[in-house]
C-alpha cells in the first residue's frame, strides 16, 4: 500500500472513531472543525434537527480581523473567538467539540482554546 492510501485510511479511521461518540443535541450541539492547508471552518450543528446553527470560516472574511490566510494558529484563534461570539449571541453556551480527523494540536487546539477564552464551554 502506498503512503497516500495509508494516510487516507488513518484519517478515515480517526474520523469514525471520534464521530461515533459525539452527537449534538439541542442543549449541547456539536462544534465540528474542518481543517485544510489554507483554511479552517467551524460549524455548530444540532444533529437531531440536522441543522447548522452557527458557521464561521476563514474563507468568508466575516470574522472582522481581515484574515486572508487561514493556515496558521493566529487565524485559527480568530476563528475560534468569532464562532464563540456568534454561538453565545445565538443562545448557545456549551458545545461538544468534534475535531473530526484532525489531531488535537496546532490550529485545532488554538481554535478550541480561543473559543474557551471567549466564553464557550467545550
Confidence of residue 65 (pLDDT cuts 50, 70, 90): low
Helical residues (DSSP H) of the chain, grouped into ranges: 3-19, 73-89, 107-117
Residue 58, pLDDT above cutoff 90: no
User: Can you say how many angstroms the Cα of residue 64 is from the centroid of all Cα atoms in its chain?
Assistant: 18
Residues with Cβ within 8 Å of 97's Cβ and at least 6 positions away in sequence, in order, are 22, 31, 33, 112, 122
Asked whether residue 40 is assigned to any structural domain, the reply reads yes
Domain assignment present for 55: yes
CATH number, domain of 98, equals 3.30.420.100
Question: Total structural domains in the chain?
Answer: 1
Q: Is 51 within a domain?
A: yes
| Domain of 44, in residue numbers | 3-117
Say if residue 4's pLDDT is above 90: no
Tell me what pLDDT residue 62 has. Answer: 58
Cell output for 63: 470574522
42 belongs to a structural domain: yes
- What pLDDT is recorded for position 87? 96
CA dist., res. 33 & res. 100, Å (int): 7
Is residue 63 over pLDDT 60? no
**Three cell numbers, residue 90:** 445565538
What is the per-residue pLDDT across 91-119, written as a single tens digit (0 to 9) for each?
A: 999 999 998 888 899 999 999 999 999 99
Is there a domain that residue 41 lies in? yes
Amino acid at each position: 500500500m502506498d503512503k497516500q492510501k495509508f494516510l487516507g485510511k488513518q484519517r478515515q479511521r480517526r474520523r469514525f472513531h471520534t464521530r461515533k461518540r459525539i452527537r449534538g443535541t439541542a442543549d449541547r450541539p456539536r462544534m465540528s472543525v474542518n481543517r485544510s492547508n489554507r483554511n479552517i471552518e467551524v460549524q455548530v450543528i444540532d444533529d437531531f434537527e440536522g441543522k447548522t446553527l452557527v458557521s464561521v470560516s476563514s474563507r468568508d472574511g466575516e470574522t472582522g480581523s481581515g484574515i486572508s490566510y487561514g493556515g496558521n494558529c493566529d487565524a485559527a484563534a480568530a476563528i475560534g473567538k468569532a464562532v464563540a461570539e456568534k454561538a453565545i449571541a445565538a443562545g448557545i453556551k456549551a458545545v461538544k467539540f468534534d475535531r473530526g480527523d484532525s489531531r488535537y494540536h496546532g490550529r485545532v487546539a488554538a481554535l478550541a482554546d480561543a473559543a474557551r477564552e471567549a466564553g464557550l464551554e467545550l
